[in-house]
């Protein structure tokens, strides 16, 4: 086939009327619109047949894009189609496509093949495509697939999108491997917006890199066929990952002003707008991810089976907003994760056995709503079915950093009580004694009370059982109060106990008093030193 020089189609191509219209529209950069006056017949994914009057061959489309005829004088060539049926397989694999491409409400008879191809910008809006095969696709600008329906999956492995990747309101079903979207190694220069999509299968973003934010607001991810609905280990997002709610109004195919725009939804829905939460039926894996601003799970709902996980192992982000609905089954895994701010609600965390956070590090706690210390301790206990000190110490450090020193001591006391349950019988008995008397040293006021009680009892005892003077002529005037206090207070010498020699029962009483005095005074001193350090 010889490429024409005058812009006319090659001889023998035998263009149909719609194809001839497409050829001319391409040369002058206008849109070929083959929609009918009946809106229900314009749905590319609908049941109505599209006849020859709305059809063009894929080989003619490929000829326009790969061997483009010259534009009309003063015009810029572009492929713009609306409501067109493309028959056959559109194969652009390995091609470099310079013209601007925008296909709206088009129906593809067979899969779209774009591997190794290069585009400036490619926009498919509201189209129905059996499958999109675009591994290692390269675009200088955007790739748009909003409101499309793809029945057999999308492959974007190692694709490079120069600016934005927009998938809003996409409906995509699984391929033969059970994946709805395979985008491992994907690179997006700016935002990846996949708001209010419906994904039936595994959405895979292993090792993907997003230059700004990744938004899955209002999306519905369902994978009843496999273990995970979102599989994105080693994902890098320079700013925020949004698994949050979105505002909804209108129909996906409506053209009224109230419909949800295909190019994104506002962060704050207008008053009266229905809210659609992010919902995921199947496991989520975000292990080893890096997120520059935050992971936002506000109002998210995770429906997990018993063997599935919401896994955030070893993620790093300045802020984790764990504000979704409590998972009823499965597990939430935060082991090894590092965050600065943990924003959470008490009702968002799973119960015992449903949470693991060994090595989970955070610096600041920012609770939303009522989150008393008792619930926070239940949160730690839920994550440690077997005793582990790290979660308690991490919580105590965060509370102390925020000025809640008393709460921090309560956490450390709870840690000792959990530890006590792992000890043998003798250790448990000694632990109960320490808890009952001085609360393991974390309530110094209780030790001071015990010292006062011992002082009073011992004063009465030594008033009735006065010891003899060691040197009668040198002993000071007998004072039971000062003598008892001198025995009870270690280190401090009040000049009493060295002049008197108790015997019998008094000797035993003095020895017990000295021993208890050391224990209680040390506890009081430790509590006072912690207070002074805090101040």
The token pair at 443 is 């309530």
pTM for this predicted structure? 0.81
Would you state the pLDDT for residue 256? 36
Would you state the pLDDT for residue 446? 66
Coil, strand or helix at 517: helix
Cβ–Cβ under 8 Å, residues 114 and 92: yes
Distance CA 473, CA 191 (A): 94
Written as one string, the DSSP assignment of 412-463 is: HHHHHHHHHTTS-HHHHHHHHHHHHHHGGGT-HHHHHHHHHHHHHHHHHHHH
Please compute Rg for the chain using Cα positions.
37
Residue 396 is inside which H or E element, if any?
helix 389-401
CB-based burial label for 4 (10 Å; 0-12, 13-18, 19+): middle
Would you state the pLDDT for residue 259? 37
Distance CA 496, CA 459 (A): 13
Distance CA 122, CA 301 (A): 33
CB-based burial label for 53 (10 Å; 0-12, 13-18, 19+): exposed
Angle at Cα 122 formed by Cα 171 and Cα 107, nearest 5°? 50
Would you state the pLDDT for residue 452? 79
- What is the residue whose two structure tokens read 């082991």? 335
Among 329, 365, 323, 362, CA closest to 346:
323
The token pair at 356 is 């693991």
The pLDDT tens digits along the chain (535 residues) read 444 456 788 877 889 999 999 999 999 999 999 999 998 899 999 999 999 999 999 999 999 999 999 999 999 999 999 999 999 999 999 999 999 999 999 999 999 999 999 999 999 999 999 999 999 999 999 999 999 999 999 999 999 999 999 999 999 999 999 999 999 999 999 999 999 999 999 999 999 999 999 999 999 999 998 999 999 999 999 999 999 999 876 544 333 333 334 444 445 555 556 789 999 999 999 999 999 999 999 999 999 999 999 999 999 999 999 999 999 999 999 999 999 999 999 999 998 889 999 999 999 999 999 999 999 999 998 888 888 888 888 999 899 888 888 888 888 888 888 888 888 888 778 767 666 666 666 666 666 777 777 778 777 776 776 676 667 666 676 667 777 776 777 766 665 666 666 767 777 777 777 777 776 666 666 555 544 454 4
Distance CA 226, CA 178 (A): 7
Distance CA 286, CA 357 (A): 15
Contacts of 120 (CB under 8 A, 6+ apart): 97, 98, 99, 100, 139, 140, 141
Which DSSP state fits 361? B
Coil, strand or helix at 375: helix
Cβ–Cβ under 8 Å, residues 440 and 434: yes
Cβ–Cβ under 8 Å, residues 69 and 77: yes
Would you state the pLDDT for residue 468? 63
Distance CA 524, CA 449 (A): 10
3-state secondary structure 184-227: CCCEECCCEECCCCEEECEEECCCCEECCCEECCCCEEECCCCC
């Amino acid at each position: 086939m010889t490429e024409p020089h005058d812009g006319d189609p090659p001889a023998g191509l035998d263009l149909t009327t719609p194809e001839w219209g497409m050829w001319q529209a391409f040369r002058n950069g206008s849109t070929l619109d083959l929609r009918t006056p009946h809106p229900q017949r314009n749905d590319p994914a609908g049941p109505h047949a599209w006849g020859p009057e709305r059809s063009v061959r894929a080989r003619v489309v490929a000829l326009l894009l790969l061997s483009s005829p010259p534009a009309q004088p003063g015009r810029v060539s572009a492929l713009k189609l609306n409501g067109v049926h493309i028959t056959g397989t559109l194969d652009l694999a390995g091609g470099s496509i310079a013209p601007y491409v925008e296909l709206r409400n088009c129906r593809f008879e067979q899969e779209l093949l774009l591997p190794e191809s290069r585009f400036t910008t490619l926009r498919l809006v509201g189209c129905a495509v059996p499958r999109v095969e675009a591994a290692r696709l390269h675009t200088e600008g955007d790739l748009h697939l909003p409101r499309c329906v793809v029945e057999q999956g999308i492959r974007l492995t190692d694709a490079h999108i120069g600016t934005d990747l927009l998938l809003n309101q996409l409906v995509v079903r699984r391929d033969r491997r059970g994946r709805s979207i395979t985008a491992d190694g994907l690179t997006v220069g700016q935002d990846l917006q996949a708001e209010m999509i419906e994904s039936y299968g595994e959405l895979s973003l292993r090792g993907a890199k997003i230059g700004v934010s990744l938004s899955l607001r209002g999306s519905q991810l369902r994978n009843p066929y496999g273990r995970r609905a979102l599989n994105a280990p080693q994902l890098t997002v320079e700013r925020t990952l949004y698994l949050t709610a979105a505002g909804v109004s209108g129909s996906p195919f409506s053209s009224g002003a109230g419909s949800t725009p295909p190019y994104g939804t506002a962060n704050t829905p207008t008053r009266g707008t229905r809210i659609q939460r992010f919902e995921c039926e199947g496991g989520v894996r975000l292990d080893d991810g890096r997120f520059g601003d935050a992971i936002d799970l506000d109002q998210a709902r995770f429906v997990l089976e018993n063997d599935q996980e919401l896994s955030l192992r070893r993620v790093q982000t300045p802020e984790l907003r764990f504000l979704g609905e409590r998972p009823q089954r499965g597990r939430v895994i935060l082991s090894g994760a590092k965050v600065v701010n943990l924003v959470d609600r008490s009702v968002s965390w799973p119960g015992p056995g449903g949470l693991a956070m060994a090595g989970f590090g955070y610096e600041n706690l920012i609770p939303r709503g009522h989150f008393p210390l008792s619930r926070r301790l239940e949160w730690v206990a839920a994550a440690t079915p077997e005793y582990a000190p790290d979660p308690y110490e991490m919580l105590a450090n965060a509370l102390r950093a925020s000025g809640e020193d008393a709460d921090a001591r309560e956490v450390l006391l709870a840690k000792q009580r959990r530890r006590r349950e792992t000890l043998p019988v003798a250790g448990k008995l000694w632990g109960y004694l320490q808890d009952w008397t001085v609360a393991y040293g974390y309530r110094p006021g209780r030790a001071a009370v015990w010292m006062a009680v011992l002082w009073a009892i011992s004063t009465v005892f030594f008033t009735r059982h006065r010891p003899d003077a060691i040197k009668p002529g040198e002993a000071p005037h007998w004072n039971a109060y000062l003598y008892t206090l001198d025995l009870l207070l270690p280190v401090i010498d009040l000049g009493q106990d060295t002049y008197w020699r108790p015997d019998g029962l008094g000797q035993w009483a003095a020895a017990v008093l000295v021993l208890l005095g050391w224990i209680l005074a040390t506890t009081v001193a430790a509590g006072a030193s912690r207070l002074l350090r805090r101040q």
